[in-house]
Amino acid sequence: MKVNKIMALKLLVALSLTIGFTSCSKKGSTKGGSTATGWKINDKKGGFQYNTKFKQQETPPGMVSVEGGTFTMGKVEDDVMHDWNNTPNKQHVQSFFMDETEVTNIMYAEYLFWLKAVYPPTEENYKHIYNGAIPDTLVWRNRLGYNETMTNNYLRHPAYADYPVVGVNWIQATEFCDWRTNRVNENILEREGYLKKDNKVNLGKNVTADSNFDTETYINSPSKTFGGNGEIVLKKEMGKGGRREVADSVKNVYAQRSSGIILPEYRLPTEAEWEYAALALVGNREYNIYKGQKKYPWKGQYTRSGKRQYRGDQLANFKQGKGDYGGIAGWSDDGADITNKVKSYAPNDFGLYDMAGNVAEWVADVYRPIVDDEANDFNYYRGNVYMKNKIGEDGTVEIITSENIKYDTLSNGKIMARNFPGQIAQVPVDENETYLRQNFSTSDNKNYRDGDRQSSRYFDFGTSEEETTSKKEDPVKRMYQSPMHKIDVDSIGSMSKKYDKSDKRTTLIDDNVRVYKGGSWRDRAYWLDPASRRYFPQDMATDYIGFRCAMSKVGPKSNKKTPRGNVKK
């Protein structure tokens, strides 16, 4: 009996060892190391360094998260303007972040302050940088109206600090987005110990035209950031849990995309993103179905509130009728006659304010009368121009300096900087990137499948991009017969303006007109429909178009731990 117990015990031990070895053979133990090689990640002695503790992208300042999804784009209830430029089409938008409000005067004033301190307009080399960024305050003037108060005060006076900025053209809006990208990432890198503390506030001293921070420059060539000043750009080594710590013996490690702390670029939202965010159909969702449709960013088919406490109040800032921009004194319909302070009206179901009314907003897209959903129904956007970093003779990226800034003279005579010192020079992609590719074949894709250029008798398949570009500029062979206003600047800076007086122009559409969305304080309720779309020249501004920024979201579509129905085993 005793012998049988001993034998049974030996058998049990042998069985346990067998199961243990079998388990190990099925699933190798990495013990915090690489699942590819088994090597240790983030070893202080060296080797592969990676942020293994990354959880999710942090919410950028002033933004809210918009979970992506599917929706019907271009669904207007009627077409009183007879534009016929909206055809309902199904689109899917990836998750992204969007500004909670429109960019305000105080936000833009901070931008102007930074430019003036870093690129003093008193210096001949930089005067066009600051002057090119200033909004056009003369947009408030009207031949038969007295609006000089807004002309003189709207941008600068603190009474209008939280009002949306206007008088900003599309190009200025995109440059503001670039500036904001750099300032936010600069702040994050300082917070995480990669940049010298409080350096960013020493404008005009440590931070100058030839010594400043640019996100792409830091990622591609960190040693050239801040003019190569090693006292500002700090070197680190990987610490415990993927965090960077100050090293006793420096290992030439800088923050990279793999660090997970550098945010993607701020940019203008695409038309699809803006319309999706404005509709906020998530408020009409029941399980996996949208219940009904929405005419406005809020629920219901009317512009007035139906809630008992606010019944009859307008839900947005718009023009109620001829000569009625805000109702009668003592009982204002929307509480405003021009623009209004942001957050004056309730947000939509995504938490976004003023997605209808107040000011219309620039979006990124080049305008065309069609949205080509046959070519693409995912993250739709017309306007891609692919560029790459310019490589210098020394084999490294070429950094813009104060000597090689490029300026563009717009059709209205305004001079704006094309690039800033500290940035990486950009050139169009060439055959090295496009050869045998199926997804794109040229650098400039604004005209892809727009239905006109290819059908022209002057269009030749197989022509090079240089030949195509020259044809676009030919007054006879170009795609659209829109006006061609020209500005000629001679070597001493004298400007000659040539207004196109031709009576043979058939359209206002060309590659330099951009979509703007949403109604404004000047518009009737018809334009409050998020699906409505209009266009305006990208180098011109008005008193009713503003903008807000967006940022792509990296990682999962939703912050939920597991998708519905997928149980983590």
Which tens digits make up the pLDDT trace of 206-252? Answer: 899 989 999 999 999 998 999 888 889 987 754 444 444 444 443 45
Q: String of b and e for 188-225 (b: at least 16 CB within 10 Å)?
A: bbbeeebbbeebbeeeeebbbbebbbbbbbbbebbebb
**pLDDT band, residue 189 (cuts 50/70/90):** very high
CATH number assigned to the domain covering 53-383+516-557: 3.90.1580.10
Phi-psi sector, 493: left (phi>0), alpha (psi -120 to 50), beta: left
Which of 85-99, 217-231, 233-247, 333-347 shows the lowest per-residue confidence on average (mean pLDDT)?
Answer: 233-247
- The chain-wide mean pLDDT, for the chain, equals 85
Token pair in block for residue 316: 């947005």
Instruction: For residues 53-67, give the mean pLDDT.
Output: 94
User: What is the C-alpha separation between 462 and 443, in angstroms, rounded?
Assistant: 15
What pLDDT score does 11 carry? 60
Instruction: For residues 374-380, give the mean pLDDT.
Output: 92
Contacts of range 279-287, beta carbons closer than 8 Å, 24 or more positions apart: 279/71, 279/530, 279/531, 280/348, 280/349, 280/350, 280/352, 280/355, 281/69, 281/71, 281/349, 282/67, 282/69, 282/349, 282/350, 283/348, 283/349
Phi first, then psi: give them for residue 108, nearest 5 degrees: -70, -30
Concatenating the DSSP letter of every residue in 98-130 gives: EESSPPBHHHHHHHHHHHHHHS-TTSTTTHHHH
- Residue 53's nearest CA partner among 241, 298, 232, 214 is 241
Token pair in block for residue 174: 């995109």
DSSP state of 200: G
């670029």: which residue's tokens? 265
What pLDDT score does 247 carry? 44
Phi first, then psi: give them for residue 277, nearest 5 degrees: -70, -35
Three-state SS string across 392-422, please? CCCCCECECCCCCCCEEECCCCCEEECCCCC
User: What is the C-alpha separation between 327 and 230, in angstroms, rounded?
Assistant: 60
Global confidence as pTM: 0.88
